[in-house]
Structure 1
Amino acid sequence: MKEKILIIEDDFTIQTQLKNLLSGNGYEVFAVTDFSKTIEQLKEAAPHLVILDIKLPGNNGFEICSQIRTFSDIPI
C-alpha cells in the first residue's frame, strides 16, 4: 500500500510541482481543492502526512493545524 500525502497549498504551480515530485517517488498524493472544506477533504483522504501552507484563503495554516490537532496527531 502506498503512503498517502495531502497537500494543502493554494498556489497551483507549487501544488502541481509537489504532486508531480511526490507521485514520481511512489506516494499517493491528494490536494485540497475547496479550502472551505479542508478538514472534510483531509478526513476523506486519510493521509499519512500533510503538507500545509501557512497563507491560505479563509483560515490560515495555523488555524487549520489547530483544527486537525483536535482529532488527529498526523505529521504536518
Structure 2
Amino acid sequence: MDLDVIVFVTALSHGITFGLRYDSGVLFSIASFWIPFLGQIVYAWLRQTTGSLVFPILAFSLSNLAVLLFPYLVS
C-alpha cells in the first residue's frame, strides 16, 4: 500500500475521532475534525521529508503550546 494512502487514512481516522461526540445523540463537528486531520498531514510530511521524529514532535508540542497560550494572547 502506498505511504500517502496510509497517511491519508490515518489522518482521516484521527480527524473523525476528534470530530465525533455524543451528547443526546451522535454529533459531528467539522472544526474539531479539520484541525487534527491537517495536523496529522503536516506531522507525516515533516516525518517523511526530514526522516526524523524530532521535527514532528517539536511541531506537535508547539501546536499544543499555542492552543494553551491562545486565550492569554488574545485577552
TM (norm. structure 1) is: 0.34
Which structure has more helix as a fraction of its residues?
2
